[in-house]
Structure 1
Amino acid sequence: PNYAGPIGVTGSAAANAVAEVADVVLAIGTRLQDFTTGSWSVFKNPNVRFVAINTAGWDAHKQMAQSVVADAKVAIEALDEAIGGYVAPADWLEFSQARIGEWHAYLDSWKERGQDGAPAYAQVIQVINEICEDDDYCVSAAGGLPGELTMGWRSKSVGSFDSEYGYSTMGYEIAGAWGAKMARGSGDVIAWVGDGSYLMMNSDVYSTVMTGHKVIFMICDNGGFAVINRLQVDTGGAEFNNLLRTTRHERYFHVDFARHAEAMGAIAEKVERLEDLAAAFARAKAADRSYAIVIDVDEYTWTEGGAWWEVGVPEVSDREQVRVARSALDAEKKHQRVGV
């Protein structure tokens, strides 16, 4: 009941609200990097103190933390014994639980929104999340999906969610899902992949069919690299060269991802309406080999978690949108913690 969700740029509004006022932060096995900390802007309490448990001394000392260089499990057990019967104040728990309730209500609200054009990522995710089995395994890696899934996917069991986002590894979704299916004894593996990542590395769709390691591929097509387009626009730039339709091209056309997956041995279908997605997923679950579900998603609609991310913006520009973005950057930078 006290789990507030993920933190930072790809985090929940609940976790970021709790972090904003926290007075003690226990950081276990984390590098406290840019996305996790919202470029060091999510911890706004001027008196906040960090206790960092890590096997790497460098990470344990970040932000002048009280460092504990140790195995995580051993350190937690020692801390538990040291603090004895301490219980957090009731008003603190009430505050955090209220924020958690608001976040879940926000996620649930996506299910109530109608479809006007292509659905949002969040709508597609909520449909699949609701009907998947407890032992199903979710894999993502690059583009907008890791953020959308980290925020919106509510895991039903421990160790059932893999978001390889350290290097935004485009194509890992497919190869990694193949490996996950090899390693897991039960449940379906669901690989979430955008059209951009799919185009960059898709050959292991064939491998999953050939070796008999069934994977369900959720191919979400937003017409290019929409999350980078979002970043481009949010920092004051004009849309250019991220969405396929804004590229310089002689021939612009849509790839038939369903037929492409079929050519590599998978069963595949394209779903046009959100209301038909659950039935398609049921067919994928029942299939005897890898199955690809292709669905168009809106390139401009995103889940919002409330954290800021520092991305450089020119100080001088003839473009008004860039000047506005620069002013916003300067304002947000005032909230950053200055540490070591």
Structure 2
Amino acid sequence: MSAPSPNTPSTHRLTVAQALVRFLSRQYTERDGRRHRLVDSCWGIFGHGNVAGIGQALVEHGQGPDAELPFHQGRNEQAMVHAAVGFARQRNRLSAQAVTTSIGPGATNLVTGAALATINRLPVLLLPGDAFATRPADPVLQQLEHPGGPDISVNDTLRPVSRWFDRVHRPEALVPAALQAMRVLADPAETGAVTLALPQDVQAEAFDWPDAFLAPRVWRVPRPAPDPGALAEAVEAVRAARRPLIVAGGGVHHSEAEDALRALAEATGIPVAVTQAGKGALRHDHPCEVGAIGHTGTAVADELARTADLVIGVGTRFTDFTTASGTLFADPAVRFVSLSIAAHDAHKMAALPLVADARAGLEALTAALAGHRVDEDHVGRYRSGKRRWERVTSAAFVPGDENARPTQTQVLGALDAVVGDEDVVINAAGSLPGDLHKLWRARSPRQYHLEYGYSCMGYEIPAAIGVRMAAPDRPVWALVGDGTYLMGPTELVTAVQEGVNITVVLIQNHGYASIGGLSEETGGERFGTAYRFRAADGSYTGDPLPVDLAANAASLGLSVFRAETWRELRAALAAARAEERPSCVYVETDPSPTAPPAQAWWDVPVAATSTRPAARAARTAYERSAATRRHHL
């Protein structure tokens, strides 16, 4: 064979899967001069659709933490995506993880996790196997036969829940597909679940890959500044406002803009309310922080929202919980300014859009507002309201009798007494998100980790594993009720296997407490929400089920601490925090309500006609609240 011409690019002969693993190991993000691995590692469960492709490639390129692409073994495909999402959020979206599965059930199990990632704007790379591109036989095992489209596979279920999707039918198609996948993962305005569907035969094909494709590549994450004209208009609106309010969302954290937000609040005196994703943007005890906003908000924040004449959104999507389903911002003349990296979000609420990075936008606003400060009467009102709400929180957190069984909010009070500023508290579903949003005292930017874009039961345990991987020096707590625990405890085995030290706080309340309460409010009479035996009339109103979830956690390898009283609970939490292996604190709660009621409405439609008194009464209340809803134009 003759020597290659000096002008001929050198190549590497690798399979598609081998090339993809090497490519992923050499991708980086860079922001503010700091570089991060874009794809830190890969989760996987193997079947015939990926075992001889991606599986072999991972072995080919090394095993263990020093491998080109370190591998983590999961137990459930959906949970692997949740773990990757928790990891990406803790890393402020600058690093992500990949998830590989076989074709068939393994691939379709990704759908829920992909939806969660995309809704929450968090990057995760999905690498499901796919049906044969060459069609050697139809159908092969787990191949979907669609009579109107033979090229459709089960992976097409991932299209609507992915921010970007491609199917790599030929080896050479990997080059543009992989580059586009990285672009979307690294783009703060576009990111979410990214899917590269990989036909199992194509994964194993060999190809000559150019050096340039496999060379290290840096994806710079910019901090775009706001348009000068839009900034000037926003500054004019702020200066004219008498009762302004800032609503801080998750974009503050993703942009690492907490210091910039604090500087603006301190300079101007404008109060800051926080969404579920934005909680912790200011410490709970900062004078300008007025707590949660919306349906699960504090009394002071929601009253400020009702009377605000200017609302400044920063990194928020203005979801229905934040706006109380369009009923919260009640001043007839209220105006909105929305600072967001995503133009789609910046234009919501008919806002004056500031399409920019949160930190860059806040810094520009602070500089342009130099010397401006809100009226001291406004400051005095919200600080007085903040003090009143602090007394509400303390009353909900601490029981009168420390030797009594704790309520759910008192469980949070015991945890509040044990955690440090560095701890991370994770939750996603049930009645806990509302109690946490209203009451939790966030002490650092990433202490409060609520997945509330999708509010997905089963997220908490795998997400805790992902967060601890991203921040190995931070104690991590997964708060789960019995309903959530029963949906997905399997990744506890992964935590034990990998030595990922998380603590599960398992609250036994015998059913779906959140939906039970909502059902009662909306005329559903708590139907189908309790974990109980059937009574004589067929309803689930008999004795509680004799399950022992603490024994289950112990059987999966956790150290388990049982608590029956608030005093025992506080001691158990402290003991679990000191453990050097995964652990579980189990407590059965007193169902007595100790959380403050909702301070604003949430739209859950009620039956328009019914023979049952509960539904008729709920409909009357629904129509009264719905009448206050408005579109901001």
TM range (shorter): over 0.9
Query: Cα deviation per residue 1:26-68 (whole Å; 9 max; x = unaligned)?
Result: 0011110101111111111111110011222222122211111
**Secondary structure at the counterpart of residue 5 of structure 1:** strand
Say which one has the larger Rg: 2
Q: Name which of 255, 260, 263 aligns with 2:552.
A: 260
SS at match of 2:291: coil
- Aligned-residue sequence identity (percent) comes to 35
Equivalent AA in structure 2 for residue 126 of structure 1? G
2:198 counterpart of 1:198: no
1:306 match: 599
Asked if 2 retains the 8 angstrom alpha-carbon contact of 1:13 and 1:304, the reply is: no
Cα distance in 1 between the residues matched to 2:543 and 2:514: 23
What's the counterpart of residue 169 of structure 1? 456
Stretch moving more, 164-173 or 54-63: 54-63
C-alpha distance in structure 1 between counterparts of 2:488 and 2:426, whole Å:
15
2:613 matches 1:326? no
Amino acid at match of 1:36: T
Question: May I ask how many residue pairs the two structures share in their alignment?
Answer: 340
Please tell me whether the aligned partners of residues 299 and 389 of structure 2 are also in contact (alpha carbons under 8 angstroms). yes
Q: Is the contact made by 1:122 and 1:303 (CA closer than 8 Å) also made in structure 2?
A: no
Q: 1:278 & 1:322 partners in 2: Cα distance?
A: 41
Q: CA RMSD in A?
A: 1.9
How has the CA–CA distance of structure 1 residues 116 and 318 changed in structure 2, closer, same or farther, with 3 Å as cutoff? Answer: farther
Matches within 5 A, 1:1-340: 1-110=287-396, 111-114=398-401, 118-245=405-532, 253-299=545-591, 301=593, 302-339=595-632
Shift of 1:259: 0.8
C-alpha contact 1:266 1:292 (8 A) present in aligned 2: yes
CA contact (8 A) 2:315 2:358 kept: yes
CA distance in 1, matches of 2:533, 2:430: 18
Which residue identity is paired with 2:605? G
Query: Could you state the TM-score of these two structures normalised by the residue count of structure 2?
Result: 0.52
Q: Deviations over 1:254-284 (max 9, x none)?
A: 3211111111110102211112111111211
Higher mean C-alpha displacement, 270-279 vs 300-309: 300-309
Partner Cα distance (1:128, 1:42) in 2: 31
- Give SS of 2:584's match: strand
Can you give the 5+ residue segments of structure 2 that lack an aligned partner in the other structure? Answer: 1-286
Moved more, 237-246 or 120-129: 237-246
- Tell me: higher relative CO, structure 1 or 2? Use CA pairs within 8 A at least 6 residues apart: 1
Offset of 1:79 from its aligned partner? 1.7
CA offset digits 1:144-178 (Å, max 9, x no partner): 11221122211122211110111111111000001
Asked if the contact 1:151–1:305 (Cα under 8 Å) also holds between the matched residues in 2, the reply is no
TM-score for both structures, normalised by structure 1: 0.94
The secondary structure found in structure 1 opposite 2:290 is coil
Between the aligned partners of 2:532 and 2:358, the Cα distance in structure 1 is 48
Q: CA deviation at 1:305?
A: 4.0
Hey, which of these two has a bigger chunk of strand by percent?
A: 2
Contact map agreement 1:16 1:305 (CA 8 A) in 2: no
Partner amino acid, structure 2, of 1:338: H
CA distance in 1, matches of 2:603, 2:404: 32
Structure 1 gap segments, 5+ residues each:
none
Q: Are the aligned partners of 2:290 and 2:386 in contact in 1 as well (CA < 8 Å)? A: yes
Of Structure 1 and Structure 2, the greater helix share is in 1
Aligned AA (1:337): R
Divergent runs of 4+, >6 A: none
Of 319-328 and 213-222, the range deviating more from structure 2: 319-328
- The residue identity in structure 2 corresponding to 1:121 is Q
